[in-house]
Chains A and B, each alone.
Chain A
Amino acid sequence: MTAFLPVLILLTSLVPAIATFFLREESARLRNTFSLGGAVLKLALVGVMLVEVAGGTVYETRFAFAPGLYLLLRADALSLLFITLSAFLWLLTTIYAIAYFGTSSDLSRFFGFFSLCVAATTGLALSGTLITFFIFYEILTLSTWPLVVHKGDGASLAAGRRYLAYTMPGAAALLVAIIWLESATGPIEFTIAAPLRDLDIWSLRAIFALFIAGIGVKAALVPLHGWLPAAMAAPAPVSALLHAVAVVKAGAFGIVRIVYDVFGTTLVDELAMGLPLAILASFTILYASARALRQVDIKRRLAFSTVSQVSYIVLGTALIGPFALIGGLVHLVHQGLMKITLFFCAGIYAERAHIHRIDELDGIGPRMPWTSVCFSIGAMGMIGVPPIAGFVSKWYLGIGGLQSGQPWVIVVLGASSLLNAAYFLPLLYRMWFRSAPGATERERPREYPLGLIAPPVITAFASVATGLLAGSSLSPLAWATLIVERYYLP
């Protein structure tokens, strides 16, 4: 059975997705059973796989796709970092989404695509070849679009249009890069060093740039980030998943694969492409933070914060050094936990108190304590306040920058911490220290149902626990260290 484990894990999301499409709108209970059952089963299977992979097992499953083309599902430690995050957050987001939508319409469509989106993310994490990666990358794009436009109003459709307008050319760039590269080297598997040096240096640079441009759209690298703030028109569970796991993380994960598994650090060094990428990531970090300052809509501010934070992962990848990579990889998890908390909370504010803008947050803290405490934890974690997880990422990135001989990185990190504080602390101040305008005790918004409140409480708790117990052998940090020790250290 172990040989099929990667396929099984993929199917735990894919089967509920397909099954849900055939369900009628009224069969809510069955639909929820499919989604939740798949998510729980997946989490259990991922747990099994984590133990095995920690022991040194590598899963590989190959399928002939067309003559000369095959799909390769391969579960290594890096895949599992991403899969574990997505499995855990998928379960919580499903619970949240069920509570969030209640009895609104078009839910079979929603949950079908929702599961499909997670299946695509899983496939992407498991991809062992560039072609496999590309296929899942595209399924991800297509399955996310219906989620973005779910509300069906003008703003959602515009956001969806913008999303496709960015991702489709991105996909084209990625495809061109793959074809260009593979026409010279043959099919590329991530674990097998391809004879890249057959190509001349400028072609390689161009291909690298095309890869980054293609995948950078999803990772929301400036100037390819425009779709992400627009996509906040989507319902809260979608934003939560989009910002924490699915799309932006797929981009960041893809960049790690390209730098480390397709080109390899030596070649990236020779091509001198690491530094430009690090500079682009740093620029994104600072630029998006500055943009976030000006946003008055909570979700838009969070969206720009995501643009900034995801580039931490890219920065860690581009710096090419063990500590930097650990920092980047662990931030993949940490940012996911903290940002999903923030979006869960933003959704609760919108649903229960009709709060969308920052100036409407005045005095909400004592009135919605559970939500507000979670939001505060997420926001402080983003700033890098220890012991919440964010500081662990920052620490490793900073040391990594110094190790790679790029001391300016710590200036970027320091400045970004200050900017993060500048755009998050005013929110906390409003929530906890301003008094609510004309609010009386009787119109206190209720925090219900449990399905809406429990997920952010769990993720906020996890954000603190992953930072507080970062040294534990079960922490994301330990796993990221294992990845780096196992694969990328000579």
Chain B
Amino acid sequence: MIAGPLLPLIALAAPLVIGLLAALPMMRDRAIRLLPLAPLGGLACAFLSPLDADTQAPDMLLGATLGLDASSALFLGFSSFLWLMAGLFAQAYMGDTRKPAVFTGFWCLTLAGNLGVFLARDVATFYVSFAAVSLASYILVVHEGTERALRAGRVYITLAVLGEACLLVGFMIGANAAESLLIADIRAAIAGSPLRDPALALLIVGFGVKAGLMPLHVWLPLAHPAAPTPASAVLSGAIVKAGIFGLMVFMPVDGTIAATGLGLTAAGLATAYLGVLLGLAQANPKAVLAYSTISQMGLVSAAIGAAMTSENPAPALLAASLYASHHGLAKGALFLSVGVVAATGRRFLPLVLAVIALTALSVAGLPLTGGGLAKTALKGQLDDALIETIVALSATGTALLLARYLFVVAGQCSSDAAERPAALLLAPFIATAGAALILPWILLPGFGGIARGYAFAPGTLWTGFWPLALALAITGLAFALKLRAPRIPEGDIVVPLEHAAQAAVSGIRRGAERLRDAPGLDIDRLLSGLDGLERVEARLARWSVSGLLLIGLVLAIALALRG
């Protein structure tokens, strides 16, 4: 029934089984303790499962095919690691949370979906996984049950459902064009479909919702702060990457649709800059980080767009994978740091802030950090000098934004000056940050196509360094001039959008209210005039009459059958 390596199936089944275990009465109150176990299968699979050996489970869904290539193994590996660290962090952070069993169950379902997105080789499995990660994470967002969380959840679920519908339609067009369910076939065939443009647009919208492509980003700055911190970490580190991964595997890269690629690049770069500007105007540390994620994912989307127009797309996509994996780990660590700082007193704060600053600088692309390497690899794939400069300058924005984060998060430290963060808060944070700094060093030759020594070249150091120096100068200037950023509500355009959506919904409702059955068919009223009929009816309703009538009929048929 199942052919090929079993490990990918185990990686998906493990979180589902653990999630169900959480519902057992004996486990309910201690369910949070199960969280670190759930991603172990995925982690093992990323390291041990052979590449390009597919697992076939023809009975599952529409015939499930699971498998890994270099890029998806990287996504699977770093995501599983982040889920593991976030699960450990939750031990200390959420020990006495409300509804632990519900949280654990949906955490595991989201995790299974997240890993399934990376493992799926066929579109049905991908769609199921994507739906699981999109819809189940709603429960993580609204876990606190506050009015703010519920509002964030509303915005989130609306966009997620919209995204799912777009993806479904896009997938149908692709599968029809390919006459196959395999993602690779769909990617190859979709450019030849007569419905190519709507299909690509729908896919970009569907994945763009998850990846925070503007203007579909509005859920991130609401959902990330509303969710409990470990959930924010996986939302921003791993779940958002599902959208990026979707773009990477579904967007055709044979160069036939350069216009769409250019469009995606432009949208991505716009997102990268607008994300910074809007993020600088935030006061909540998690909202600042959310905008940083939006901005960074804009950059990765732009790289994917560039790969679509490129003649040699494979290295560009590998470099984008490397960049995304570094960002996943680093941003995961930064979200965890919100919880660490809240449990750190003034005395130990500088140490924690130093680790945060190093991680932040890595995200901004400081030379010789993991992020610096990833950025070098990414820039190496952009053949356009203008775009290269735009990307380099975006690092200035990132640095500014993360300096802003450092500033606002430092204000949220514990009031007890001597408080030290618990080991289970600190260790996952440090481990994730460390992984972010080191991982690109290991993967640079394979994914960046660059020797490690290239990182030490003066040119590389300089292009990595000047945007940060510029950011430092701007920050210093802002402090000196006591510049204050304006306040923009979390989710920026979400406020007018909500009003518009509300108006649209009530419009549809009013429209629906006007829909009536065609007047000519209101036979009910016609009949109510005939009161004789009601007497007949009352008689028929008596059991003896109607039963006998029916028995007669049945007997007649029975006789007929016998004859």
A binding-site residues for B, Cβ under 8 Å: 7, 14, 17-18, 21, 63-66, 71, 106, 108-109, 112-113, 116, 135, 139, 142-143, 146, 149, 152, 157-158, 160-162, 165-166, 223-226, 230, 287, 290-291, 293-294, 383-387, 391-392, 394-395, 398-399, 402-403, 407, 410-411, 413-414, 417-418, 421-422, 425, 433, 467-473, 477
Contact of B550 among A64, A143, A160 (CB under 8 A): A143
CA distance A158 to B150 in the complex (A): 42
- Residues from chain B with Cβ under 8 Å of A162 in the complex: 523-524, 527
Known: A223-B517, A410-B169. A433 touches B142 (CB 8 A): yes
Beta-carbon contacts under 8 Å, B522-558 to A: 522-524, 526-527, 533-534, 537-538, 541, 543, 546-547, 550-551, 553-555, 557-558
A409 to chain B: closest residue by CB? B172
Residue of B nearest to A110 (CB): B543
Contact among B172, B523, B547 with A395 in the assembled complex (CB-CB below 8 Å): B172
Does B124 sit at the interface, judged by CB under 8 A?
A: yes
Closest to B172 in A: A398
Known: A225-B517, A383-B161; 13 extra A-B contacts, CB below 8 A, are A14-B554, A18-B554, A21-B547, A64-B563, A139-B553, A223-B517, A386-B131, A399-B172, A402-B173, A411-B169, A414-B165, A418-B165, A422-B505
Known: A142-B553, A386-B131. A471 touches B58 (CB 8 A): yes
Q: Which residues in A have their C-beta under 8 angstroms from that of B385?
A: none
Partner of A109, one of B61, B166, B538, B543: B543
Q: B541 contacts which chain A residues (CB < 8 A)?
A: 146, 149, 152, 157
Q: How far is the CA of A109 from the CA of B543 in the complex (A)?
A: 6
**A471–B168 CB distance below 8 A:** no
State the Cβ distance, A234 to closest chain B Cβ, in Å.
13
Partner of A166, one of B164, B175, B523, B563: B523
| 153-183 of chain B: CB within 8 A of chain A | 157, 161-162, 164-166, 168-169, 172-173, 175-176
Contact check, B176 vs A403: say whether CB atoms are below 8 A apart.
yes
Question: Cα distance A18–B560 when bound, in Å?
Answer: 16
CA A249 to CA B511, docked complex, whole Å: 29
Contact partners of B176 in chain A: CB under 8 A: 399, 402-403
Contact with A along B129-151 (1 / 0, CB 8 A): 00110010000001001000010
Instruction: Output the residue of A135, A142, A383, A407 with the most chain B CB within 10 A.
Output: A407
A63-B563, A143-B550 known; A290 vs B60 contact (CB < 8 Å): no
A66, A290, A402: the one contacting B511 at CB < 8 Å is: A290
B554 touches A410 (CB 8 A): no
Once A158-B524, A468-B60, A471-B63 are accepted as A-B contacts, the answer to whether A294 and B512 lie under 8 Å apart by CB is: yes
Most B C-beta atoms less than 10 A away, residue of A63, A64, A66, A392: A63
A223: which B residues are within 8 A, CB to CB?
517-518, 521
Which of chain A's residues have a CB closer than 8 A to the CB of B518?
223
Chain A residues closer than 8 Å to B524, beta-carbon distance: 158, 161-162, 165, 226, 230
**A433 contacts B150, CB within 8 Å?**
yes
> Which residue in A63, A294, A470 is a CB contact (below 8 Å) of B513?
A294
Given known pairs A139-B553, A142-B550, A226-B517, the reply for A384 and B168 (CB within 8 Å) is yes
Q: Point out the residues of chain B lying under 8 angstroms from A161, CB to CB.
A: 524, 527, 533, 537
Give Cα A399–Cα B62 distance, bound, in whole angstroms: 13
Report chain B residues within 8 Å CB of A384: 168
CA distance A139 to B556 in the complex (A): 12
State the CA gap A473–B562 with chains docked (Å): 37
24 contacts between A and B (CB under 8 A): A18-B558, A63-B563, A64-B563, A135-B557, A139-B557, A142-B550, A143-B550, A149-B541, A157-B537, A157-B538, A160-B537, A223-B517, A223-B518, A226-B524, A230-B524, A291-B512, A291-B515, A395-B172, A398-B169, A410-B173, A414-B168, A417-B164, A425-B157, A433-B150
Residue of B nearest to A18 (CB): B554
Check if B558 sits within 8 Å of A14, measured CB to CB: yes
A386 to B129, CA, bound (A): 8
Closest to A123 in B: B557
A106-B543, A161-B527, A287-B515 known; A472+B59 contact, CB < 8 A = yes
CB-based contact A392/B62 at 8 Å = yes
Q: How far is the CB of A366 from chain B (nearest CB, A)?
A: 9
- Find out whether the CB atom of B169 lies under 8 angstroms from the CB atom of A413: yes
Is the beta-carbon distance between B62 and A395 smaller than 8 angstroms? Answer: yes
Chain A proximity mask over B59-95: 1 for CB below 8 Å, otherwise 0: 1111110000000000000000000000000000000
The 9 closest A-B pairs by CB, nearest first: A398-B172, A472-B59, A165-B523, A402-B176, A386-B128, A109-B543, A471-B63, A290-B512, A414-B169
Q: How far apart sit A287 and B64, CA to CA, in the bound complex (Å)? A: 35
Complex Cα gap A64–B526 (Å): 41
A149 to B162, CA, bound (A): 41
Interface flag for B561 (CB, 8 Å): yes
* Distance of A236 Cα from B63 Cα, bound (Å): 37
Question: Are B547 and A112 in contact, CB atoms less than 8 angstroms apart?
Answer: yes
Q: Which residues of B contact A66 (CB under 8 A)?
A: 560
Whole-angstrom CA separation of A157 from B535 in the bound complex: 11
A471 → B minimal CB distance (Å): 4
Cα separation A166 to B562 with both chains bound (whole Å):
33
